[in-house]
Amino acid sequence: MNRRNFLYGTAGAFAALTGGAFLAGNRPGGRAMAETFEITKTEDEWRAILSRQQFAVLREEATERAFTSPLNEEKRAGLFHCAGCDLPVYSSDAKFDSGTGWPSFWQSLSNAVGTKEDNTLFMTRTECHCRRCGGHLGHIFDDGPKPTGKRHCINGVAMTFKPGATQAS
């Protein structure tokens, strides 16, 4: 979660308590602060290169059903790449079995993912996405293992796995 989103979220909650009069115009958790990405495509272009399920997750922030991705059980050394643009985003070095049914990591590769506040489903979560194409990957929670205490809960369908090197070159 970046600080700016956090502040906006707080302001939004305060605005709700005060009847919306305070700091009107903020959109907590909305797309008001949409980032720009190195790789951009039209919806049709994304649909042409992604499977229906990949499109739903990467471009529409859907969540795959738990225990459906073969990457959940992937235990080999290697790198997990964004299924949208092929950027390496996670390493097997940081993968752990969270028992949730989704591939889980305690950290991303450096400079690989961006985050934003997600206020859908009546809760506040930290959404994470590929920093290069903006494709939605999953969410980050604070109940992960050491050393970070973070749990990156990632949709397997949003990634491809390449066995071999565990660090991006």
Min dist CB 146 to Zn ion, Å, is 28
154 contacts Zn ion (rule: CB under 5 A): no
The active-site residue out of 85, 130, 133, 153 is 153
| Shortest Cβ 43–Zn ion spacing (Å) | 16
Distance from C-alpha of 156 to C-alpha of 168, rounded to nearest angstrom: 19
Interacting residues with Zn ion between 62 and 101 (CB under 5 A): 82, 84-85, 87
What mask, x for binding Zn ion by CB under 5 A, covers residues 94 to 133?
------------------------------------x-xx
Residue whose tokens read 């235990």:
75
Using DSSP, state whether 83 is helix, strand or coil.
Answer: coil
Nearest to 29 by CA among 120, 140, 114: 120
Burial of 122 (C-beta count, 10 Å sphere; 0-12/13-18/19+)? exposed
Answer yes or no: 153 catalytic.
Answer: yes
How many of the chain's residues bind Zn ion (CB under 5 A)?
8
Rg (CA), the chain: 17
Which helix (H) or strand (E) element contains residue 15? helix 3-17
Closer CB to Zn ion, residue 26 or residue 109?
Answer: 109
* CA-based nearest residue to 83, from 71, 93, 75, 95: 71
Residues at the site binding Zn ion, with contacts judged by CB under 5 A:
82, 84-85, 87, 130, 132-133, 135
Name the residues annotated as catalytic: 153
